[in-house]
A and B are shown apart, each in its own frame.
Chain A
Amino acid sequence: KAGVTQTPRYLIKTRGQQVTLSCSPISGHRSVSWYQQTPGQGLQFLFEYFSETQRNKGNFPGRFSGRQFSNSRSEMNVSTLELGDSALYLCASSLEGFPDTQYFGPGTRLTVL
């Protein structure tokens, strides 16, 4: 089975712009979760989607949003980028749903200048 894929792998944006990241889960997995990873804060949970519905949400501002399509692919959008949004964004898919055993993608490294 193909693993979790994330595109793009690297992204450079400037403050105020918006960005959309994409994640394709393992075939058959209906749960997709998103995380932000920074050296100072570690791994922070953003949200989980299951069968196109947001089922779980972390403590991030409304600038962070997501959606899931009928084929389980998920997108995450960050509007009005800030310098502090520079991070590695990881996507994970799960067969049983968050927070059970998750399979992660390679991440998207976002740099905000």
Chain B
Amino acid sequence: AQKITQTQPGMFVQEKEAVTLDCTYDTSDQSYGLFWYKQPSSGEMIFLIYQGSYDEQNATEGRYSLNFQKARKSANLVISASQLGDSAMYFCAMSYNAGNNRKLIWGLGTSLAVNP
């Protein structure tokens, strides 16, 4: 069965430091995609970064990078130079094929607090 696990319910980081948010996944499919989204207290979910299962290089978007370790089935999000505005919930999600449909499952999220 497909599964996404985020083992860190809450994390703290000092401003300007880097932080890694963990995400492990389970799938027997060869073709899948991994997403990270950010949800501030306002509620709106914001897309951060995407990694396809066949992408050999780790995805990067500005201060965000995805540490993709296929053999370990992990897709950790690294935020460099944390800012106060990075305080939010972070969700990892995985897309996969289910018959003729594509599905998307979500982790339960990690709450990140950036301290000044």
Contact = CB atoms under 8 A, between A and B. Distances in A.
A8 interface: no
Interface string B36-63: 0100001111110010000000000000
A24 to B, nearest CB: 14
Given A43-B91, A106-B42, A99 B103 contact: yes
Contacts of A107: 43-44
A56 B104 CA distance: 11
A106 B37 CA distance: 14
A61 interface: no
B50 A45 contact: no
Contact of A88 (B43, B106, B109): B43
If over half of A's interface residues share one DSSP class (helix, strand or loop), that class is named, otherwise mixed; here it is strand
Contacts of A55: 101
Interface size class of A (residues with CB under 8 A): 10 to 19
Contacts of A103: 47
If over half of B's interface residues share one DSSP class (helix, strand or loop), that class is named, otherwise mixed; here it is strand
Contacts of A56: 101-103
Contacts of A109: 43
B47 A99 contact: no
11 contacts: A56-B103, A99-B33, A99-B93, A99-B95, A99-B103, A99-B104, A104-B45, A104-B47, A105-B44, A106-B42, A109-B43
Contacts of B78: none
Interface in A84-113: 88, 90, 92, 98-107, 109
Contacts of A88: 43
